[in-house]
């Protein structure tokens, strides 16, 4: 889901310092992860599995698209934060169903690996923003092709090649570097920080889910 926050060139709210901007991104990300952790802890995954598959997909994509629309269109931090939560909650349902398939220690290991990779990619995104900007179109094309290939594998051939998970990991590593680099180039406002966090949240969660699957197969 493409976000337009990184195309903004003019501030529509009060400018804040770089440290406050980054702190807002970090706190917004932590809020999303905390909500997901609470969902995993208190929502029975069996109830989610029992929901009609088509209905689940409609609600999932409907909420995500509505959330992306809200934070893309709004220049008010509160509205953008509400939109962010409309993305966090449906992602939390997917995370819930995924993590309960694995040993808790493995999940913690996947979280640690994801955190380490995320920090490295943010550092690279800070040091080499021009490089990540150059590969932006390539990343998007690769993601579309992988999504199509995975859907064909799952729904037509009823199989899944592990190599796809590795490809997706590489793609979202690239997106973390790209989005972090772009976040540091737009006007530093509270609203832009929340919107940037929303984009990074989706990158990081997708990375985590694939790392979890890879580590789960290896063990």
Integer Cα distance of 110 and 120 in angstroms? 15
Q: What is the pTM of this model?
A: 0.94
Instruction: Please state, as a whole number, how many other Cβ atoms lie within 10 Å of the Cβ of residue 135.
Output: 14
- For residue 33, give every residue at least 6 positions away whose Cβ sits within 8 Å of its Cβ, in sequence order, or none: none
* Residue boundaries of the structural domains of the chain: 5-218
Integer Cα distance of 64 and 89 in angstroms? 9
Contact 71, 194 (CB under 8 A): yes
Amino acid 1: pLDDT: 53
Instruction: Please state, as a whole number, how many other Cβ atoms lie within 10 Å of the Cβ of residue 147.
Output: 12
- The sign one gets for the Cα dihedral 82, 181, 202, 212 is negative
Half-sphere exposure of 208 (CA within 13 A, CB side): 26
Which H or E run includes 38? helix 18-42
Compute mean pLDDT per 10 residues along the chain, 219 residues long, and list them: 74 91 98 98 93 93 96 94 98 96 96 98 96 96 94 81 92 98 95 97 98 89
Amino acid 204: pLDDT: 98
Contact 59, 92 (CB under 8 A): no
Integer Cα distance of 11 and 15 in angstroms? 7
Amino acid 157: pLDDT: 77
Integer Cα distance of 73 and 12 in angstroms? 12
∠ CA 174-205-48, nearest 5°, is 150
Integer Cα distance of 63 and 50 in angstroms? 19
Half-sphere exposure of 85 (CA within 13 A, CB side): 9
């Amino acid at each position: 889901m493409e976000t337009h926050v990184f195309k903004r060139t003019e501030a529509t709210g009060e400018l804040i310092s770089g440290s406050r901007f980054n702190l807002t991104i970090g706190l917004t990300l932590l809020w999303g992860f905390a909500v997901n952790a609470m969902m995993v802890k208190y929502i029975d995954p069996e109830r989610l599995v029992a929901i009609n598959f088509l209905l689940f997909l409609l609600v999932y994509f409907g909420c995500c698209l509505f959330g992306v629309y809200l934070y893309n269109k709004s220049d008010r931090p509160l509205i953008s934060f509400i939109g962010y939560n409309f993305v966090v909650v449906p992602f939390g349902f997917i995370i819930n169903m995924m993590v309960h398939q694995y040993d808790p220690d493995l999940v913690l290991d996947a979280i640690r690996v994801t955190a380490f990779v995320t920090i490295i990619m943010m550092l690279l995104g800070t040091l080499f923003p021009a490089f990540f900007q150059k590969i932006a179109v390539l990343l998007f094309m690769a993601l579309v092709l992988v999504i199509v290939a995975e859907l064909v594998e799952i729904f037509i051939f009823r199989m899944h090649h592990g190599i796809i998970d590795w490809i997706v990991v590489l793609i979202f590593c690239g997106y973390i570097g790209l989005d972090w680099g772009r976040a540091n180039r737009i006007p530093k406002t509270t609203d832009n920080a929340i919107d940037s966090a929303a984009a990074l949240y989706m990158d990081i969660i997708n990375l985590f889910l694939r790392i979890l699957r890879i580590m789960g197969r290896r063990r």
